[in-house]
A and B are shown apart, each in its own frame.
Chain A
């Protein structure tokens, strides 16, 4: 558990530092944020044709209300946390890859719901928008990350280490150093 925790922190700091670099911002974060606005606009136009996306801005063409998707609302940080948690946890690489792909879709999927909901909350009541934007959705997205990780951990084979072999006692899983010796793989 200690190893997982330290690795998680190190990976997260490294990934977050990389995210802030100009290169990653230019070639990944900004294009992804623009794409997120486009995806949100596409989904919204299925029931409200007056919505357009321009860059990272989602705008209502009739009443002029617009939201700009900024850092923290593009789901990148939440995805980084999930990536770090999955990569740091002792598991076979196949499970990690599946977890990374499915988990990223789950986190970004909920983030699209966040963007669309905030777009309409803002048109309805700005105070409610602020509350949902600054506090509630932040917590819900992190809860989503935690749940995705829990579900992923439940899918793991219970006796294997990251290399697919039986781990030494207490070196893998959630019990940490106090854990009992792991049973042999079936």
Chain B
């Protein structure tokens, strides 16, 4: 997996590390994509738990369909009698979980002692933030982008809508990439020290 990196001298540890990471990214993405229904099950279970505890009047059920989180709500789509069903909202969980393969590639490229434990720990750290993104996406859908009639049924105040908008933006633009990077940095302090110290081997 790291043959290309091995041709670089040890005096260029960052370049070696980058090449190894790039080499690990495709298989990491493949495992992540095809294993998503299993890998992301805990995130959806967490979303289900939060919805049940925090949004019982809004969400009837949260189901998983592959990598998609399906929210069945209590909200009506319109006032007409013909529109008597309830709204469902689909959220693609992958949109908030692409940091997982990045984290895996970084850990495998550094390959420090205890890398298996670091993989497991990183997964545990990242999953709640995936749940954050999914939940914020759902709330943004029903409270902001679904139109006045649906939004009015949610009962959210203007301030709550602002918080939902911020949580969605932060959960979609910042957290999915920053959390894996921060988790990796925090769990690889010795590796980073070795990158700074000439004579110590990193990567």
Contact = CB atoms under 8 A, between A and B. Distances in A.
Interface of A: 1, 5, 8, 12-13, 16-17, 20, 71-72, 77-78, 80-81, 134-136, 138-143, 145-147, 150-151, 153-154, 156, 158, 173-176
Contacts of B25: 136, 139-140, 143
B82 to A, nearest CB: 34
21 contacts: A5-B186, A13-B170, A16-B170, A16-B174, A77-B173, A80-B174, A81-B178, A134-B94, A138-B176, A139-B29, A141-B177, A142-B180, A150-B195, A151-B14, A154-B195, A154-B196, A173-B193, A173-B196, A174-B193, A174-B196, A175-B189
Nearest to A158: B196
B173 A71 contact: yes
Contacts of A13: 170
A150 B14 contact: yes
A176 B170 CA distance: 28
Task: Give the 5 A-B residue pairs with the shortest CB-CB distance, closest first.
Answer: A142-B177, A139-B102, A135-B98, A174-B192, A77-B173
B126 to A, nearest CB: 13
Contact of B173 (A72, A145, A156): A72
B169 A5 contact: no
Given A17-B166, A153-B192, 6 more contacts: A1-B186, A71-B173, A81-B178, A135-B29, A136-B25, A158-B196
Contacts of B22: 143
Contacts, number: 91
Contact of A81 (B172, B174, B192, B195): B174
B192 to A, nearest CB: 5
Interface in B25-62: 25, 29
Contacts of B186: 1, 5
Interface residues of B, number: 35
B70 interface: no
B122 interface: no
Nearest to B191: A174
A85 to B, nearest CB: 9
A20 B164 CA distance: 13
B181 A145 contact: yes
A154 B182 CA distance: 18
Contacts of A72: 172-173
Interface of B: 14, 17-18, 21-22, 25, 29, 94-95, 98-99, 101-102, 106, 166, 169-170, 172-174, 176-178, 180-182, 184-186, 189, 192-193, 195-197
Contacts of B180: 142
Contacts of B102: 139, 142-143
B39 to A, nearest CB: 14
Given A20-B166, A134-B95, A139-B98, A5 B14 contact: no
A20 B174 contact: no
Nearest to B95: A134
Contacts of B184: 146
A134 B189 contact: no
A17 B101 CA distance: 28
A135 B102 CA distance: 10
Nearest to A156: B196
A17 B162 CA distance: 12
B183 to A, nearest CB: 11
A138 B25 CA distance: 12
